[in-house]
Structure 1
């Protein structure tokens, strides 16, 4: 059993993927080929925004957004404490100060109440300018934008949506990557929509920001490639990756989002009534289920449980074992954090199970049975 079965996906979509790659090779335009422009157009239409700017990876996408806004030294950028390192790394990379904020215990996403408390505390201290918030759609679930957006407007803070894990999710009729002033995603292979290497994209309705993003992504170019009007970076989605994404896109939209939600329902049914918390999907929300993550009781020896499941051929992962505020890279006063007790508990209790559109009902049944069996035994309890 694979944690995320990319091989099964390739076999299902092989004809289109192979043709797309072959077309790029025959055309010989490996950088900025026509497939890149076609992908940007289709992604913008799917998300429902005016502009899509592709780039080298999801981390660059976040950094480029901050660069377009001119975020830098003296600015505070609020980041969930429970997330992947890149969400805070990019803040430090542009010279700003990450301020780590606790998350909701059931959705894993940024807690709006804690966000406003953090903004007010930063303003009272007076040393930093609250400039932006990175809102992560963790594990596929969109964040609570109805509560977060008014806070951003109240304090004039820009909203950067990190949809790296959430692409394909939605709230009502609005899709992930349409909620931010600028939104970003990642096409890392294991993401809901993944390529065969690194890749990312940035979404916005603002014409000026889109123009800046395209400039920053290609060495700060002006009217042409060798007219460099600002310091940028080299971050372009290569044409082969665009071809792979185009070959996957229709199936992703028409089949795979429904498929992962069916897998989640199987998990919900087979794991219900047990001694752990299942993922909560609020009414009106659709998750793209980058991960299916449960919360174990605090007396469970998670490492022991993982080893027992591994011995039965069932892979699991821990996203994430360490809060952002405890990362060594943010030591020595380079970040700010407040009470993040929910994150600290989650880091010791979360466990992600095999997930994806090609997981079968039989796979889920096997995972559930082995999980039940292990947790009934005392060997994995502290």
Structure 2
């Protein structure tokens, strides 16, 4: 038996007719940039999350960069985030000219440890990026309390958390802004790269919209005025569709990006969004079976805080003999993934920040012991039992 870590072909087959149809519709329409599908997906995603604004971008990393810039974060600033996460969480901070400040995580949930945040705050700290790792929300009440006390902004890194809930509230509604990724391996995914910024703040939304398209045009002027406290009347143009031609796009007000969600990806995401809750529910069912059948084995199953409804973007186990375990599983056709082998504070690119081994003991402990096993919705009962039997063996 061969079981991949994620089976994208199985998901495609389950909705192939709809995916093929909308893809052909976009191709035949010749409207490939922005346009109806992007606008409608932004509206549908905002409604799903429960926010006023959803601003689609080219990928999840761009979402983080643009969200930070929309908050005015840049050179000389510091932003606190987790050390046990994907590189983009810190890379985005560096990309806007700020410095990432790393905090250790909780051994049980893998999320940033709120009790260790406050000691890292300085007069340069401007924001916190809590990462909802593997689909489980961080302890947002405690984090929000710290942020309020120190007048800090919060940008949720919800790249792995589409559909997760914290105390009944959706991931993405728990800070000043939130960022999602639609990379193919995500629970809600497109057929390439895609990302989203969500917020209830009108100003953040306006600036983010401007930054994703070179800081130009009517939105660019609005953003420029917001950032510079200007109340001038905004020039508008009715010369053609923005997706084809608008003379105002040649008037630039901010240094922005070329970061738009393609129309085909938006159309694909519109097909998938109505299935997301069912897919996430099935992941929880698979995880529940794993939890029950592996509870007496030599691996540590993931812990979910009482207040959380996780989506199990990954089902991550802890094991003392990880290399032996994953090699044995591979021999028997079971794919695994190691998340994450090197904590961010020990990455070579950040050696100048002065961190050393032993600074984040929990993350360092986990980096040698964690591995993910398949948890995708299309897993069959036979496959689940086969995986469990091989782990126990």
C-alpha contact (below 8 Å) 1:199/1:241 kept by paired residues: yes
Consecutive aligned runs of 4 or more in structure 1 exceeding 6 Å deviation: 334-338
Structure 1 residue 276, shift from structure 2 partner? 2.2
Whole-Å Cα distance in 2 between the matches of residues 328 and 279 of structure 1?
Answer: 29
Q: Deviations 1:58-94 (Å, cap 9, x if unpaired)?
A: 0000000111112112111001010000000111111
Q: Does 1:330 align with 2:350?
A: yes
Pick one of 341, 347, 351 that aligns with 2:371. 351
Alignment deviations for residues 24-59 of structure 1 (CA, whole Å, 9 cap, x no partner): 011110001200000000000000000000000000
What's the TM-score once normalised by structure 2's chain length? 0.90
Moved more, 33-42 or 329-338: 329-338
Give how far 1:114 is off.
0.6
Change (3 A) 1:336 1:202: farther
**Correspondence 1:249 to 2:273:** yes
CA distance in 2, matches of 1:335, 1:156: 26
**Offset at 1:269?**
1.1
**Is 2:171 the partner of 1:148?**
no
1:159–1:19: structure 2 CA closer, same or farther, 3 Å change rule?
Answer: same
1:163-178 to 2 correspondences below 5 Å: 163-178=158-173
**Residues 142, 95 of structure 1: alpha-carbon distance in 2 compared, 3 angstrom cutoff:** same
| Inter-CA distance 53–111: structure 2 relative to 1 (3 Å threshold) | same
Q: Map Cα deviations across residues 219-258 of structure 1 (whole Å, 9 max, x no partner).
A: 01131422210100100000000011011111113x1111
Contiguous gaps of at least 5 residues in structure 1: 124-128, 374-382
Which residues in structure 2 correspond to 1:1-382 (within 5 Å)?
A: 1-119=3-121, 122-123=122-123, 129-223=124-218, 224-253=248-277, 255-297=278-320, 300=321, 302-333=322-353, 339-373=359-393
Q: Which secondary structure does the structure 1 equivalent of 2:180 belong to?
A: strand
Quote how far apart the aligned CAs of 1:191 are: 0.4
* Alignment check: 8 A CA contact 1:169 1:175 kept: yes
CA distance in 2, matches of 1:77, 1:91: 7
Aligned length: 362
Residues 134-164 of structure 1: CA deviation (Å, up to 9, x unaligned): 1100001011101110000001111010000
Q: Distance in 1 between matches of 2:356 and 2:44?
A: 39
Q: Is the 8 A contact 1:101 1:338 kept in 2?
A: no
Q: How far apart, CA to CA, are the structure 1 residues paired with 2:94 and 2:357?
A: 14
Cα offsets for 1:265-305 (capped at 9, x unmatched): 111111112222211111131111110001112xx1x2232
Query: In structure 2, how many angstroms separate the alpha carbons of the residues matched to 1:181 and 1:336?
Result: 32
Distance 1:338 1:133 in 2: 23
Question: Residue deviations 1:76-135, cap 9 Å, x none?
Answer: 10010100000001111111111010001101001000111222xx35xxxxx1101111
RMSD over aligned CA atoms reads 1.4
C-alpha distance in structure 1 between counterparts of 2:72 and 2:49, whole Å: 25
Partners of 1:228 and 1:355 lie apart in 2 by: 46
Distance 1:78 1:335, change over 3 A: farther
Contact between 1:294 and 1:351, CA under 8 Å: does it hold in 2? yes
SS in 2 for 1:77: strand
The alignment's TM-score, normalised by the length of structure 1, stands at 0.92
Unmatched 5+ stretches in structure 2: 219-247
- Post-superposition offset of 1:172: 3.2
Q: Is the 8 A contact 1:118 1:338 kept in 2?
A: no
